Amino acid sequence: MAPLVRLLMARLAVSLLTLLIVSVLVFMATELLPGDVAQAVLGQSATPEAVAALRAVMHLDQPAWLRYLTWLGGLLTLHPGHSLVNDLPVAQLIGSRLPNSLLLAGLTALVAVPVALVLGITAAVWRGGAYDRIVGLLTVSAVSVPEFLVATLAVLVFAVQRHWLPSMFYEMPDRSAMQLLRAFALPVMTLSFVVIAQIARMTRAALINVLDSSYVEMAVLKGVRPLRLVLLHALPNALGPIVNAVALSVSFLLGGVIIVETIFNYPGLAKLMVDAVTTRDMPLVQACAMIFCTAYLLLVLLADVFAILSNPRLRHR
Amino acid sequence: MSIASPARLRRRIRPAGAIGLAIVLFWVVMAVFGPFLAPHGEGSVVSAQVLDASSRAALLGTDYLGRDMLSRILFGARYTVGVAALATVLASLSGSMLALWAATNGGWSDAIVSRLLDALISLPSLLFALVVVAAVGSSIPILVLTAAVIYLPGAYRTVRALAVNIVAMEFVKVARARGEGAFYIMRAEILPNIVLPVLTDFGLRFIYVVLLLSGLSFLGLGIQPPFADWGSLVRENIEGLAYGAPAVIMPALAIATLTIGVNLMIDGLHGRPGDPHGH
């Protein structure tokens, strides 16, 4: 068991190191700001005394490395400072939006992952055929089209022309399950579209890799039935790369979430971050960026751990 | 389950590649000559009907101020195609050069550069761009540089993986034994052997850059008025969506034709990397 534990620990260390480098990069972004945050907050007409006082309050008179450590400490203790725009605690702003984004991402995963796996597996099994080529063409097109095209087309068809679904996301205190379903339909559909294509492509590639190996050829020659061959012989070995594909596609999900929350006016974390970027509210931008990066790295880490654990050669050493 | 023979796959002609090439060439020509071919000026109002449907005066309808959409799209081509091409060239050139240097040198320099760039690659691209725009604002040079930095690690990774295999070859050892310098080995021994997959990688990276920059513009955080790329055109006309105005859909479709065109071209000319049946 020792080598396995060492492998897992090494993987965890890489993730933590990456997160540390990311935090330095995100923090350094503030340092790039031309001029001074205090000056920017108070405006050009502020007296030098007022700027100096605010600099002291914001600890801008301290060296950068010390401010970095303070900022990092604040993040770790869940006190990432206050918004520059409305002075609300960043933690409170994020706390009110995070559950919404998690709900959206969760619903999307619930829809997208099963559909994508079926598409990817069937395309790999019938590789080279007409079905495979159609799925291939559709998925390539889907990943190379901007998310806002998918969103606008979906709104055009389902909301403007057919009036089946609302084109905006409205918050209502208590609504029926049916209303909730209709409200989420378009955002989830748009997001799923891109994510399905991504996962399906990678699933197909992973499974084909395994189908090409000699033990599968042996099984074919032995006369194993196709369904059994794919599900019991090939799939278990492709599981690691497939889980990895699912985790990596989260990065596409993230880009999509930013666009989709903006288009549908969905009160999530990504919308909060885009608004913060527009008003250049750096503490809020930094905190949002760190949450997204941490979530992303965590998912990739979990996928890698799963891949390591699902590999019998590593498990039974 | 059918096992396709490689020979049959090789012989399959790919008309899709020619179509892709034609689309891409069309947009490149438009990026250069679009302003001369446009029927109206970039900012001139041609109709009192705003967000109008297609008509004889305005083939692709009018925008939210009554300007000709066709002209707006033709003028926008240089921002979408040009800026993305510039950023991609920058990312691919610097990434490839760094990768060749790391692969030829090996050892510590290779390990450190690879580790650092791996950290950079794990940042979701749109997120990275948002942080930069929040910090330093948005102008064309900043957008080009940001996109180049975001996609440099990917180019580095691809080229390094390719170059490392070549570095291990006999003829590189021979060149080293002959006393050739590192630069000669990179240029004359390694580069010619990896040029095709590197070009494919360039095409894919171009697609990512186009999608990133138009996404930013769509959020209002990319190319700023009075300049307008296709992403900005979608944004400024978004209210026309309620009437199904072509002003919203057409610029988005223009982006889609460009990126799908590049994809078809890559697929048709030679397989994509990692696809054993692509050749």
pTM of the predicted protein model: 0.84
Distance of alpha carbon B226 from the chain centroid: 23
pLDDT at residue B225, as a whole number: 83
Secondary element (H or E) of residue A8: helix A2-31
Residue A295 touches partner B, C-beta closer than 8 Å? no
Predicted confidence at residue B83, as pLDDT, reads 92
Answer for the pair B264, B247: CB distance below 8 angstroms, yes or no.
no
**B5 contacts chain A (CB < 8 A):** no
As given in the structure block, the two tokens for residue B276 are 């054993």
Helix (H), strand (E), coil (C) string for chain B? CCCCCHHHHHHCCCHHHHHHHHHHHHHHHHHHHHHHHCCCCCCCECCCCCCCCCCCCCCCCECCCCEEHHHHHHHHHHHHHHHHHHHHHHHHHHHHHHHHHHHHHCHHHHHHHHHHHHHHHCCCHHHHHHHHHHHHCCCHHHHHHHHHHHHHHHHHHHHHHHHHHHHCCHHHHHHHHHCCCHHHHHHHHHHHHHHHHHHHHHHHHHHHHHHHHHHHHHCCCCCCCCCCCHHHHHHHCHHHHHHCCHHHHHHHHHHHHHHHHHHHHHHHHCCCCCCCCCC
Inter-chain touch A148–B249, beta carbons under 8 Å: no
Each domain of chain A, given as residue ranges in start order, spans 91-315
Distance from CA of A250 to the nearest CA of B (A): 9
pLDDT digits (tens, 9 = 90+) for B218-271: 998 888 888 888 999 998 888 888 777 888 889 999 999 999 899 888 877 654
Shortest Cα distance from B88 to chain A (angstroms)?
Answer: 16
Task: For residue A144, give both structure tokens.
Answer: 């190379």
**Which pLDDT score is estimated for A179?**
72
Interface probe with B: pick from A16, A225, A265, A277, most Cβ of B within 10 Å: A277
- Nearest by CB to B123, from A22, A30, A141: name it: A22
Report yes or no for ipTM above 0.85: no
Residue B143: pLDDT band (50, 70, 90) is: very high
**Segment 52-111 of chain B within 8 Å of chain A by CB:** none
Which of B127, B230, B232 best probes binding to A when mutated, by most A CB atoms within 10 angstroms? B127
A161–B244 C-beta distance less than 8 A? yes
Residue of higher predicted confidence among A19 and A175: A19
Tell me which fold the domain A91-315 belongs to: MetI-like fold (1.10.3720)
Residue B185 is predicted with a pLDDT of 84
The answer, for B116 touching chain A at a CB cutoff of 8 Å, is yes
Q: Cβ contact (<8 Å) for A145 and B255?
A: yes
**Shortest distance, CA A251 to any CA of chain B (angstroms):** 6
Model confidence at B58: pLDDT above 80? no
Residue A37 has pLDDT above 70, yes or no: no
Decide if pLDDT at B5 tops 60.
Answer: no
Q: Provide, as residue numbers in chain B, all residues whose Cβ is less than 8 Å from the Cβ of A273.
A: 130
- Residue B4 pLDDT class (50, 70, 90 cuts): very low
Local confidence band at A1 (pLDDT 50, 70, 90 cut-offs): low
For chain B, which domains are there?
64-268 (1.10.3720.10)
What pLDDT digit, counting tens, does each position of A238-274 carry? 888 788 777 777 767 777 888 888 888 888 888 899 9
**pLDDT band for position B25 (50/70/90)?**
very high
Mean of pLDDT values over A96-101: 87
**Residue in A with minimal Cα distance to B222:** A278
pLDDT band at A181 (very low <50, low <70, confident <90, very high): confident
CA–CA distance, A304 with A4 (Å, rounded to integer): 13
Q: What's residue B213's pLDDT? A: 92
Select from A140, A254, A276 the Cβ nearest to the Cβ of B127.
Answer: A254
Which of A34-48, A73-87, B6-20, B76-90 is modeled with the greatest confidence? B76-90
Which of B34, B36, B66 minimizes the C-alpha distance to B51? B66
Collect all residues of chain B within an 8 Å Cβ-Cβ radius of residue A29: 131-132, 134-135
**Is A125 an 8 Å CB contact of chain B?**
yes
Share of chain A above pLDDT 90, in %: 2
Kindly state the average pLDDT of the residues A1-19: 83
The whole-chain average pLDDT of chain B stands at: 82
Query: Residue B277: its pLDDT value, please?
Result: 39
Write the pLDDT tens digit of every residue in B152-201. Answer: 988 888 888 888 888 888 888 888 888 888 888 888 888 888 887 888 88
